[in-house]
Amino acid sequence: MSGGQVSSGPGTDDVGADVDCGSAIHQLYHYLDGELTEQRRSEISEHLDYCAPCASAAGFETELRQVIADKCKDHVPDTLMQRVAQQIEAERRKQVDIDPEREHPE
């Protein structure tokens, strides 16, 4: 085994002093959720710019989220729909206290 020296990339040492891979990945979820400050976001995005492993991880996460969002749109279980409908109905009755028999034909 040869040493514990990690040398990846073109050998530039001064890039991304603020964000290393660990913290970039750690904050990736917050980054994607838009929960970070402007400055933090730009730091992470800068890191993703030159760090291929982190960039691909971020790309994968983004893709995954899109797939999940699509699937959720397409296949919402009936039971969930019913529960949501019931919740909405319950909220409506609480908030809008009107006679349900008074219907507007339009």
Binding residues vs Zn ion (CB under 5 A)? 21, 24, 51, 54
In the complex with Zn ion, which residue's Cβ is closer, 22 or 77? 22
22 Cβ contact partners less than 8 Å away, ≥ 6 residues apart: none
Nearer Cβ to Zn ion (59/67): 59
Shortest distance in whole angstroms from residue 106 CB to Zn ion: 58
CB of 81 to Zn ion, least distance (A): 41
Name the minimum Å distance from CB 33 to Zn ion: 19
Three-class SS of the chain? CCCCCCCCCCCCCCCCCCCCHHHHHHCHHHHHHCCCCHHHHHHHHHHHHHCHHHHHHHHHHHHHHHHHHHHHHHCCCHHHHHHHHHHHHHHHHHHCCCCCCCCCCC
Q: Of 22 and 100, which has the nearer Cβ to Zn ion? A: 22
Q: Residue 11 or residue 77: which is nearer to Zn ion going by CB?
A: 11
Q: How far is the CB of 65 from Zn ion (least distance, A)?
A: 20
